[in-house]
Amino acid sequence: MNIRSFRGKTPVIAESAYVDEAAVVIGDVRIGRDSSVWPMAVIRGDDQAVVIGERSNIQDGCVIHVASANKLLPDGIPTIVGDDVIVGHKVLLHACTIGNRCLIGMSSTILDGAVIEDNTVLGAGSLVPMGKRLESGYLYIGSPAKRVRELGENEAYFLDYAAAHYAALKDEYRNPS
């Protein structure tokens, strides 16, 4: 079974969302309207919550987890993904916050306590270290991620296009003809 409870918490998945049968979603996870979770993605809300907003997509091979409460982090850290977020193939999100209208490039890693503000693009293969904040409206790339330039019209268009594209594509997977 790919969607399962843990410690009495069962994932809450919007009726219009899509979770591929080859993805795994466990525990305290909430997935918003028209969002999608693609094959081989793993979303594990065991010690804290994972919240995915509306029209966001978690692409193939992503891993999303949280930080448990401990001496250094008495409250732990959930993982929050906003609305209209594109999380590229093989991304690792660990106990971080992603704002609205963001693109997280393929094979990127975002670590505990990091915050990606709204309208931000993180280039493929980037690393966002623990506790780092990426300001809204910019392209960041590298390991560690560094601000490169302001986003242009093409990136703004692509953020809207990609979120809408994946919201429509998931409907084809839900209702194959």
Read off the CATH number of the domain in which 49 is found: 2.160.10.10
Report the C-alpha gap between 71 and 161 in whole angstroms.
43
Over its length of 177 residues, how does the chain's per-residue pLDDT go in tens digits? 699 999 999 999 999 999 999 999 999 999 999 999 999 999 999 989 999 999 999 999 999 999 998 888 888 999 999 999 999 999 999 999 999 999 999 999 999 999 999 999 999 999 999 999 999 999 999 999 999 999 999 998 999 999 999 999 999 998 877
Is 98:126 a contact under the CB 8 Å cutoff? no
What pLDDT score was predicted for residue 149? 96
Q: Dihedral sign, CA of 72, 69, 66, 82?
A: negative
Q: Which residue has the tokens 């979603």?
A: 25
H-only helix segments in the chain: 153-174
Note down the domain range covering 170.
Answer: 3-174
Question: In degrees to the nearest 10, what's the CA dihedral of 2, 26, 41, 123?
Answer: 160
What pLDDT score was predicted for residue 72? 84
Give backbone dihedrals phi and psi of 163, rounded to 5 degrees, phi first: -65, -45
What pLDDT score was predicted for residue 68? 92
Question: Structural domain tally of the chain?
Answer: 1
pTM: 0.95
Sheet containing 36-37, strands listed edge to edge, beginning at the edge strand earlier in sequence: 18-19, 36-37, 57-58, 86-87, 103-104, 121-122, 138-141, 146-150
